[in-house]
Structure 1
């Protein structure tokens, strides 16, 4: 074959690429909630609809120069959280969002031949976490009322189980795990199995019987439990990516070991501290979102929808096979929602003007 012919052949053939693990190649990348146009309401990502507080913006102006690395341990924010929850600083771990800590903990505990249990449907990042670690994910279906089936999850524990993820309130369906349910569950789990209590939406919870991992200090009686929280939702810092965990220091040391260094920026740390300083003001905004959530739930149920009792800043429409069709109707009315094809639609509680429009569209497609 001539040199010219060889060159032409090389132009039309696929390049030789590095070998990717089959489990990773088959895994769909994380799909972010769709962005909204200038005239639409973005209700797809569970973001806080309020603008940052002036005091938080002021704190961002005090950020260290960007040619300098941030504090690798976010020590000031960790110290502040330690005071806030009455724990020593080694019992606090800060990373770029609580999902980063989830990944760190799974990498630290699970490998090939190991299992990670989680409810399904739940947070869509969960399936990828064990796969990336080389482990096997074990999905336990939700109950008929869209709640964690904790008895079934406990029954699913085997000698290969290394970690269990509990999401309360559950994303995307909204119901909580009660304190009594959690206590009974963790008593059934072997003490050497990590239990991750993902409480990303805890600030929006109003029912008194919900588990509160930090208020109840569950990590003291059960050192295998780690509690996750985030500044992304109630505190409105989604764009800065900062979350934290509280638990036994040896368990959190494993997360610190597997984490990417220097991932929490100085801006994120400053904003987190300022948000804690302004907590009372921020929680007033949370109360507004909760009131809007109540009206949204009531309106959807009045329209005939069987909506689970959400305690988060979103609601769940069980649209089943009509999911894509109904999601398109929302988008046509400038409401960008989060569809899960064949299952349902998650709708964030957003601006005041969006509430009646969501109810109107949901009523029209019922």
Structure 2
């Protein structure tokens, strides 16, 4: 299966344009379900004391996450979603004018934040199958490179690099160049597709693993992200920690989410089942949909984005007419299927 993948990662419009209310907004790869009931209870209890400041600098949340991940608390930094932490990384570990290498297209935030930080975007086209071309990315890392980003699963295609590909890439990157492994959608991976990030950290001290509570955990509105890695780069990133920047509600939500692991796994299974059912149905209609390992599907164009828009479905659209849609809501998934039935096969 060959995909045409446009590079739609050049920063241009930074704010979403207000538009007529759509039937379904599937543009942001959000969890279609609200936080788990026990998490809502914990957050509401925390909000009852919203007149009080949270910790000046977060200590309890990094400690909680570190215990879960299996690293020291001084190896974790938290922030305003994975996006906020990624921007801290760019500011702390790069110099203005340095290059930031990534597979393109990618998460829109990376080229935007690179521009904000005064970095030079170095987009490397994906291969014909929607995978990040890690050999080409390694070749793009020259003397000016200040940071490399690898997504697993990749956004927007949902494809997954193998453990061998990740290891080969890390081995090819100079040790002074930080590498961000963006695992925003890692919870949606099947057990066989997961990798031992702690083993990678032991071998590659320039690696930083970036994660979020926005996707699988359904806490996008609370803005909780984190990264973990070697102590030295984490300490440099932590110096940019915003005082009072992590709310008590965020701390309560993470604690309760970890305690509700069984319910979380059931919800993830429900979303991934919907993803596979929608992909199977679209493939039967002749559409070449890459196998996704996240909570979205990449729908190659042309005409897909237009068909969805005419059906009242907001998607992440690309210049060639392709689109990325969030999955998991059965009604929205059915609407996507109906909207694309009339496309040429």
Say if 1:194 and 1:224, in contact at 8 Å, map to a contact too. yes
Structure 2 gaps of 5+ residues are 1-9
What is the correspondence of 1:36-115 to structure 2 with a 5 Å cutoff? 37=21, 40-63=23-46, 65-115=49-99
Say if 1:202 and 1:212, in contact at 8 Å, map to a contact too. no
Which one has a bigger Cα radius of gyration?
A: 1
TM-score where L is the length of structure 2: 0.91
For residue 6 of structure 1, what is the aligned residue in structure 2? none
Which stretches of structure 1, 4 residues or longer, exceed 6 Å deviation after superposition? Answer: 33-36
Q: Structure 1 residue 317 and structure 2 residue 295: aligned? A: no
Matched residue count: 334
Q: For residues 276 and 223 of structure 2, what CA distance do their matches in structure 1 show?
A: 28
Q: Which of residues 169, 179, 183 in structure 2 aligns to 1:199? A: 183
Q: Structure 1 residue 350 and structure 2 residue 328: aligned? A: yes
How far does the alpha carbon of each residue in 1:62-86 deviate from its partner, in whole angstroms, 9 at most, with x for none? Answer: 2163333211333222212111122
How far does the alpha carbon of each residue in 1:225-277 deviate from its partner, in whole angstroms, 9 at most, with x for none? Answer: 01011100000001111011111122112222234332221111111111111
Q: For residues 104 and 292 of structure 1, what CA distance do their matches in structure 2 show?
A: 35
Measured after TM superposition, the shift of residue 282 of structure 1 is 0.9
Q: For residues 247 and 17 of structure 2, what CA distance do their matches in structure 1 show?
A: 24
TM-score where L is the length of structure 1: 0.86
Q: For residues 200 and 37 of structure 2, what CA distance do their matches in structure 1 show?
A: 35
Q: For residues 51 and 164 of structure 2, what CA distance do their matches in structure 1 show?
A: 50
- Rate the CA distance shift 1:163–1:79 in 2: closer, same or farther, 3 A: same
Q: For residues 192 and 15 of structure 2, what CA distance do their matches in structure 1 show?
A: 34
What is the correspondence of 1:156-305 to structure 2 with a 5 Å cutoff? 156-206=140-190, 208-211=192-195, 213=197, 216-305=198-287
SS of structure 1 residue aligned to 2:190: coil
Say if 1:41 and 1:350, in contact at 8 Å, map to a contact too. no
Q: For residues 34 and 294 of structure 1, what CA distance do their matches in structure 2 show?
A: 32
- Rate the CA distance shift 1:344–1:31 in 2: closer, same or farther, 3 A: farther
